[in-house]
Amino acid sequence: MSQQTIFLAALDIPDRPEREAFVKHACQGDRPLERQVETLLAAHERPGDFLNVPAFEQVYTSALIPAAGVSLPFLEPSAKPGSLGRLGHYEIQKIIGQGGFGIVLLAFDEMLHREVALKVMAPHLAFTSPARKRFLREARSSAAIRHKNVVSIHGVAEEPIPYLTMEYVPGGSLQQRIDREGPLEPPEVIEIGRQIASGLAAAHALGIVHRDINPSNVLLEPGAPPTIKITDFGLARTADDASLTRSGYVAGTPLYMAPEQATAGRVDFRADLFSLGSVLYAMCTGRPPFRAPTMLAVLKRVSEDAPRPIREIIPEVPDGLCAIIERLHAKDPGARFGSAREVFDVLGSYALDAKGRAQVQAVAGAPAPAAPATASQTDSSPVGPRRWTKRILVVGGVFFLALLLGGLAQWLVPLFRPGSGTPDTSATLEAVLQARTEAAARAWPSFLARAQAPGVTPEQVWKEVATYCEAYPGTPQSFQAGELLLKLPPLVNSIGMKLVALPPGRFLMGSPAAEWNSAADEGPRHEVVLTRPFLMGVDPVTVGQFAAFVKATNYVTEAEKGGWASRRWPDDSWKADAETNWRNPGFEQADDHPAVCLSTNDSLALCRWLGERETKKYGFPTEAQWEYACRAGSATRFYFGDGDQELPQHAWYRINSDMKTHPVGQKKANAWGLHDMLGHVWQRTADWYAADYYATSPREDPPGPADGKHQVWRGGGWSCPVFDCRSSRRLGAYVPWGCSANLGFRVVVLP
């Protein structure tokens, strides 16, 4: 008897001992065959558990990972205690997720001195050419989504095995939060829902459909309220190229699927909106909306039934929020909201009444938007009972075939054939921007009313502008909204650091060819658009500000721990030992002098401390942010003009510094109120250095190269000639752990 025959016959035997005896007799002593049948029967008996486990958390079958532990043969040995091994310049600390698609590892980036998550492709798929190519293609596609509510992709590599380097989000998943605390309060449901919608809108604008939105793919960054990060973009597409016999994973989570997914229909961005409705439902009630004892029963409920009304479970949930979720759960995709951006705006129409309960204004009766007109988005009619009857047979057949061939119930893979869920990407960027601009115009009056209301504080104006610009990036209205920030006085943080709010905008980055000379890395000159506002320190971080951090945390700098010998400067014997001391680098340093002799790690430690203290995102500026802030609307060699006659009024440099630092803020500020942007101390940026980066740099929000050996310094220092104090000057000769008496830093804060 074949494995298939034995398995199907055993399913008809309800008594477990009798079934076990039958399998043993039918296999006639063939122990491997017996184990295979037992595995299939065990998988068949666990449909309820299987449904609740999303793609990100699917575990390997016993055939792939031994019970004794996870095999990581692609790692190189490490000498560090407790390390699992090395992958490139990453020190692997632990496994934080497993799935048939691969493994997620917590790693320490020894180049940038930060924790990251590495998503490593499953070894059994890594050598399958179609799956490998699609993994890398989708990785690069996902990396294009630059949004605060989407997990950032820092890089992708192919050797020794394909893997992604991603932002590490330590707060756990939304599913873990729901499991731990149960239903969330309506205001937090609204806030998290808005953030998910905002991240989805950014993806949809690039033609990317997630297709597996569920609470386990929504990660929480600690804070009040938490910042959410959507993960696993492109996972379902990676699954398309894996055969049933090699799949080993599930592409999608049945409990949160849209009807068109469950019935193998055409999938577009509106499937993500249905799944978002299910996530909102789960946050409100503590459980998913479509539950049933078997997988096929769940699919039938998703396609035909309405979930139990939320207010029957939790009466305190506002009617308006229930109405939004009901509309997202429309079986007909055309009856849902027209876009994720519309969901973001509608959730933003909430107000709190006197008792603090969330209310919705004019949502329940809003007309349904027309379905988008592209061909790929109009073939999604409602699924009737007859259509379901046909497809249930097909899906059921696929389910049993997957059981027989894959070792687990990996039946969802064929529902995601290439092309079935790919949205129409023929729309140009100009068309996308036009749609954003029209939406921005509709939201403009209410934005102005909030931002210019009597008694509104500068901090509130900053938040309103940041939210508006995030919702409508790159539109004329977002640039106009940002101009409100230039009228604000500096904001002051918890340690007295002054921060200027800078608007989004566009500028010419780099130098014209005639100015390059020996600095050819400053070209070609190119237009850059920054779509997000940010706060920037008026001055470089001072000795007093760093001392406040040291006093509060007992922090010891890296140089103080080991001196230059441990800082890897074998060719810099001229470095004075005094430069290891940030308090006394060889000249007098008062509290109002810029803090120097600090490594990247030291500087980032202050940023992390401030971020946790204030629940904000502190860090270094990107190169683009730094030059944009320095130029302050200028396009000349220096922000005050092309000639250097006025430079002594604006900068401490070789001719007037007496070869040491001075109190910050003594020289003239630029047009945006920033001091010491030129001269005084070089300033770190967040970017790796690449001499030819400007030739391939993205036009919008350039993030810098994904990897490198040296960091970019900007602005020149007290020992530098005029040439180093130009707005476009970039220096990329120093490693991240390097510190110098000529090097300081200033912070940026992102919304």
444: pLDDT strictly greater than 80: yes
- Helix H, strand E, coil C: the string for 264-317 is CCCCCHHHHHHHHHHHHHHHHHCCCCCCCCCHHHHHHHHHHCCCCCHHHHCCCC
Q: What confidence score (pLDDT) does residue 358 get?
A: 45
More confident residue, 649 or 293: 649
Q: Report yes or no: 525 and 511 within 8 Å, Cβ to Cβ.
A: yes
Give the span between the Cα atoms of 696 and 483, in whole angstroms: 29
Q: What confidence score (pLDDT) does residue 45 get?
A: 57
**If pLDDT is split at 50, 70 and 90, which confidence band does 148 have?**
confident
Alpha carbons within 13 A on the beta-carbon side of 9: 15
316: pLDDT strictly greater than 90: no
Cβ neighbours around 452 below 10 Å, total: 11
Listing DSSP states for 13-55 in one string gives --SHHHHHHHHHHHHTT-HHHHHHHHHHHHHHT-HHHHHTS-G
Going by C-beta distance under 8 Å and a sequence separation of 6 or more, which residues neighbour residue 702?
528, 622, 623, 624
Going by C-beta distance under 8 Å and a sequence separation of 6 or more, which residues neighbour residue 581?
559, 560, 597
Give the span between the Cα atoms of 659 and 681, in whole angstroms: 11
649: which DSSP letter? H
Alpha carbons within 13 A on the beta-carbon side of 746: 33
* Residue 615 β-bridge partners: none
Q: What mean pLDDT comes out for the span 721-746? A: 87
Q: What mean pLDDT comes out for the span 71-84? A: 82
Which tokens in the block code for residue 482? 């940002």
Torsion of CA 514, 507, 651, 567, to 10 degrees: -90
Listed range (253-262, 400-409, 413-422, 661-670) with the worst mean pLDDT: 413-422
Give the span between the Cα atoms of 109 and 555, in whole angstroms: 21
Peptide bond into 66 cis (omega under 30): no
- C-alpha radius of gyration, the chain, whole number: 29
Give the span between the Cα atoms of 736 and 714, in whole angstroms: 14
Nearest alpha-carbon partner for 283 in 206, 336, 378, 214: 214
Give the span between the Cα atoms of 292 and 56, in whole angstroms: 22
Residue type, 426: S
Domain 85-416 has CATH 1.10.510.10: yes
CA separation (Å) from 312 to 285, 308, 322? 10, 7, 11
512: pLDDT strictly greater than 80: yes
More confident residue, 343 or 413: 343
Listing DSSP states for 727-750 in one string gives TT-EEEEE-TT---TTEE---EEE
Q: What confidence score (pLDDT) does residue 399 get?
A: 43
Collapsing DSSP to helix, strand or coil, 546 comes out as helix
**At CA 424, angle to CA 473 and CA 210, rounded to 5?**
70
As a whole-number percent, the residues of the chain with pLDDT over 90 amount to 36
Query: What digits encode the pLDDT tens for the residues 472-488?
Result: 888 899 999 999 999 99
Alpha carbons within 13 A on the beta-carbon side of 636: 10
Query: What digits encode the pLDDT tens for the residues 536-588?
Result: 999 999 999 999 999 999 999 888 776 543 333 334 433 444 345 677 777 88
Give the span between the Cα atoms of 390 and 363, in whole angstroms: 37
Q: What confidence score (pLDDT) does residue 57 get?
A: 41
Q: Report yes or no: 87 and 118 within 8 Å, Cβ to Cβ.
A: yes
Q: What confidence score (pLDDT) does residue 11 get?
A: 67
Q: Report yes or no: 728 and 510 within 8 Å, Cβ to Cβ.
A: yes
Q: Report yes or no: 591 and 542 within 8 Å, Cβ to Cβ.
A: yes
634: pLDDT strictly greater than 50: yes
Q: What confidence score (pLDDT) does residue 392 get?
A: 44
**If pLDDT is split at 50, 70 and 90, which confidence band does 367 have?**
very low
Give the span between the Cα atoms of 510 and 524, in whole angstroms: 7
pTM > 0.95: yes or no: no
Q: What confidence score (pLDDT) does residue 548 get?
A: 95
Nearest alpha-carbon partner for 214 in 230, 228, 194: 230
Q: Tell me the pLDDT of the chain averaged across its residues.
A: 77
Which tokens in the block code for residue 703? 């993030």
User: Which of the listed ranges 81-85, 387-391, 552-556 does the model predict with the highest average pLDDT?
Assistant: 552-556
What number of residues does the chain have? 751
Which tokens in the block code for residue 110? 């020894």
Burial of 620 (0-12, 13-18, 19+ CB in 10 A): buried
The per-residue b/e assignment along 387-411, b for 16 or more CB within 10 angstroms, e otherwise, is ebeebbeebeebbbebbbbbbbbbb
Token pair 């939060």 is found at 177
Listing DSSP states for 379-427 in one string gives ------HHHHHHHHHHHHHHHHHHHHHHSS--TTGGGG-TTTTPPP--S
Listed range (570-579, 648-657, 678-687, 720-729) with the worst mean pLDDT: 570-579
Which tokens in the block code for residue 617? 């995102």
Which tokens in the block code for residue 139? 């990785």
Listed range (55-69, 180-194, 433-447) with the worst mean pLDDT: 55-69
Angle of helix 340-347 relative to helix 269-285, nearest 10 degrees? 30
Q: What mean pLDDT comes out for the span 76-87? A: 86
Decide the pairing of beta strands 163-167 and 218-221. Answer: unpaired
User: Which of the listed ranges 110-114, 425-429, 507-511, 732-736 does the model predict with the highest average pLDDT?
Assistant: 507-511
Nearest alpha-carbon partner for 579 in 563, 562, 603: 563
510: pLDDT strictly greater than 90: yes
Cβ neighbours around 426 below 10 Å, total: 10
Annotated domain spans of the chain: 3-45, 85-416, 429-489, 505-541+598-750
Going by C-beta distance under 8 Å and a sequence separation of 6 or more, which residues neighbour residue 324?
277, 280, 343, 346, 347, 360, 363
User: Which of the listed ranges 287-301, 585-599, 731-745 does the model predict with the highest average pLDDT?
Assistant: 585-599
| CATH dotted code for 505-541+598-750 | 3.90.1580.10
